[in-house]
Amino acid sequence: MKMHGLALFALIALASPAVLAEETVPLISAEHAAKIREEIRLQENRARELDPILARDRQARHDVETNWVVLERHARELHARAKEFRTIGDIVGGKAKADLNGFAQELDTFATHDEENAHFQHEMAERLDKAIAGEAAAREWHLKHAARLREWLSANGV
């Protein structure tokens, strides 16, 4: 009986979870692990490919903001100059007043064009802000997905 008990104890010891844990048996084949590693590489490459797109969109956003600032300044200056022309016209009177009011009208017209263009620049900036946010979120998702896959492989002894 003693021998039988000893054999039973040895069999239980060999089959215990602690003993089995020392032997890490991968859950997936090497081929499947290679496919997951390839997916990690693809996800990281996708994230890197978004970097220049983000950089260009951020530069475009900066340029658009610079444009609208210039256009708004031009519009203010043109309206101010138009007002000055009208004031001068009121002082001099006669045909000069009509000419100066005509010049003032042209300045106001171009100021209005600059205001409209500045408004369009604002709209482009808003669209670029949304694009940048979406691209940045996609980039982060690709990196997180790759990290999760890498962690899973590591945790599963692959």
pLDDT digits (tens, 9 = 90+) for 32-77: 999 999 999 999 999 999 999 999 999 999 999 999 999 999 999 9
Diameter of the chain by CA atoms?
A: 132
pLDDT for the residue 24:
58
As a whole number of angstroms, the distance between CA 77 and CA 71 comes to: 10
Pair 50, 131: CB distance under 8 Å: no
The DSSP symbol for 53 reads: H
**28 is written with which tokens?**
């997936």
Pair 35, 149: CB distance under 8 Å: no
As a whole number of angstroms, the distance between CA 28 and CA 45 comes to: 24
pTM for the predicted model, two decimal places = 0.71
pLDDT for the residue 22:
53
pLDDT under 70: residue ranges of the chain: 1-26
